[in-house]
Structure 1
Amino acid sequence: MTATPRTSPDELPLRPELRGRTPYGAPQLQVSYRLNTNENPHPLPDELLATLGEALGHAAVDLNRYPDRDAVALRADLAAYLSRGGAPIEPAQVWAANGSNEVLQQLLQAFGGAGRTALGFTPSYSMHPIISAGTGTAWVDGHRRADFTIDAAQAVAQVREVRPDVVFVTSPNNPTGTAVALETVEQLHDATEGMVVVDEAYAEFARTGTPSALTLLPGRPRLVVSRTMSKAFGMAGLRLGYLAADPAVVDAVQLVRLPYHLSSLTQAAARAALAHTDALLATVDAVKDQRDRIVAALPGLGLTSVPSDANFVLFGRFADAPAAWRALLDRDVLVRDVGIPGWLRVTAGTPAETDAFLAALTAVAPDHRLGD
Structure 2
Amino acid sequence: MTGFVPPPYPYDRLNEILAIAAEHDGGAVDLSIGTPCDAPPPAVMAALANPDAARGYPPSIGTFEFRLAAAQWISRRLGAAVDPRTEVAACVGTKEFVASLPQYLKLRDPSRDTVLYPAISYPTYEMGATLAGCRAVPYESLDEIVDTDAERALCIWANSPANPTGEVLDLQEAATWARLRGIPLISDECYAEFSWTDAGPTTVLRSGTDGVIALHSLSKRDNFAGARIGFYAGDPALVGYLREVRKHAGLMPPGPVQSAAIVALGDDDHVEVQRERYLARLMRLRQVLAAADYAVDLPRGAFYLWAPAPDGDAWAAARDLAERAGIVVSPGEFYGPRSTGWFRVAAVQPDDRIELAATRVGA
2:336 equivalent in structure 1: none
What is the identity, as a one-letter code, of the residue corresponding to 1:66? Y
Could you tell me how far 1:313 is from its partner in structure 2? Answer: 0.7
Give the alignment of 1:8-157 within 5 angstroms: 14=3, 18-19=4-5, 21-23=7-9, 25=11, 27=14, 31-53=27-49, 55=50, 57-60=51-54, 62=55, 65-72=56-63, 73-85=65-77, 86-91=79-84, 92-112=86-106, 115-142=112-139, 144=140, 150=141, 155-157=142-144
2:225 equivalent in structure 1: 236
Could you tell me how far 1:204 is from its partner in structure 2? Answer: 0.9
1:324 equivalent in structure 2: 317
1:286-305 deviation line (CA, Å, top 9, x unaligned): 21222234346655635233
1:59-102 deviation line (CA, Å, top 9, x unaligned): 33x1xx32223322211111111111221222121111111122
Of 133-142 and 258-267, deviating more is: 258-267
CA contact (8 A) 2:306 2:345 kept: yes
Could you tell me how far 1:161 is from its partner in structure 2? Answer: 3.8
2:341 equivalent in structure 1: 342
- Alpha-carbon distance change, 324 to 271 in structure 1, aligned in 2, over 3 angstroms: same
1:45-64 deviation line (CA, Å, top 9, x unaligned): 334333433x2x3333x1xx
Could you tell me how far 1:159 is from its partner in structure 2? Answer: 4.8
2:199 equivalent in structure 1: 209
Could you tell me how far 1:229 is from its partner in structure 2? Answer: 0.8
Of structures 1 and 2, the one with the larger relative CO (CA 8 A, separation 6+) is: 2
Q: How many residues align?
A: 333
Structure 2 spans left out of the alignment, 5+ residues: 334-338
CA distance in 2 between counterparts of 1:229 and 1:159 reads: 35
- Alpha-carbon distance change, 43 to 25 in structure 1, aligned in 2, over 3 angstroms: same
CA contact (8 A) 2:99 2:127 kept: no
What is the identity, as a one-letter code, of the residue corresponding to 1:102? E
SS at match of 1:282: helix
CA contact (8 A) 2:59 2:252 kept: no
CA distance in 2 between counterparts of 1:294 and 1:66 reads: 44
Could you tell me how far 1:360 is from its partner in structure 2? Answer: 4.7
CA contact (8 A) 1:67 1:260 kept: no
Of 90-99 and 295-304, deviating more is: 295-304
Could you tell me how far 1:104 is from its partner in structure 2? Answer: 2.4
- Alpha-carbon distance change, 306 to 278 in structure 1, aligned in 2, over 3 angstroms: closer
2:356 equivalent in structure 1: 356
CA contact (8 A) 1:118 1:139 kept: yes
SS at match of 2:223: coil
Q: Percent identity?
A: 24
Structure 1 spans left out of the alignment, 5+ residues: 1-10, 145-149, 364-372
Could you tell me how far 1:20 is from its partner in structure 2? Answer: 5.7
CA contact (8 A) 2:48 2:257 kept: no
1:294-321 deviation line (CA, Å, top 9, x unaligned): 3466556352337341111111232332
Q: What is the TM-score with the length of structure 2 in the denominator? A: 0.81
- Alpha-carbon distance change, 70 to 95 in structure 1, aligned in 2, over 3 angstroms: closer
Could you tell me how far 1:267 is from its partner in structure 2? Answer: 1.9
1:24-64 deviation line (CA, Å, top 9, x unaligned): 545575754221122333222334333433x2x3333x1xx
Q: What is the TM-score with the length of structure 1 in the denominator? A: 0.79
- Alpha-carbon distance change, 336 to 107 in structure 1, aligned in 2, over 3 angstroms: same
Structure 1 or 2: more helix by fraction = 2
What is the identity, as a one-letter code, of the residue corresponding to 1:318? P
What is the identity, as a one-letter code, of the residue corresponding to 1:160? D
Aligned CA-pair RMSD:
2.8
What is the identity, as a one-letter code, of the residue corresponding to 1:321? A
CA distance in 2 between counterparts of 1:357 and 1:188 reads: 44
SS at match of 2:219: coil
Could you tell me how far 1:335 is from its partner in structure 2? Answer: 1.8
Could you tell me how far 1:193 is from its partner in structure 2? Answer: 1.5
CA contact (8 A) 1:315 1:343 kept: yes
CA distance in 1 between counterparts of 2:261 and 2:122 reads: 24
CA contact (8 A) 2:175 2:212 kept: no
What is the identity, as a one-letter code, of the residue corresponding to 2:189? E
What is the identity, as a one-letter code, of the residue corresponding to 1:317? A
Could you tell me how far 1:328 is from its partner in structure 2? Answer: 2.5
CA contact (8 A) 2:309 2:317 kept: no
CA contact (8 A) 1:217 1:245 kept: no
CA contact (8 A) 1:102 1:241 kept: no
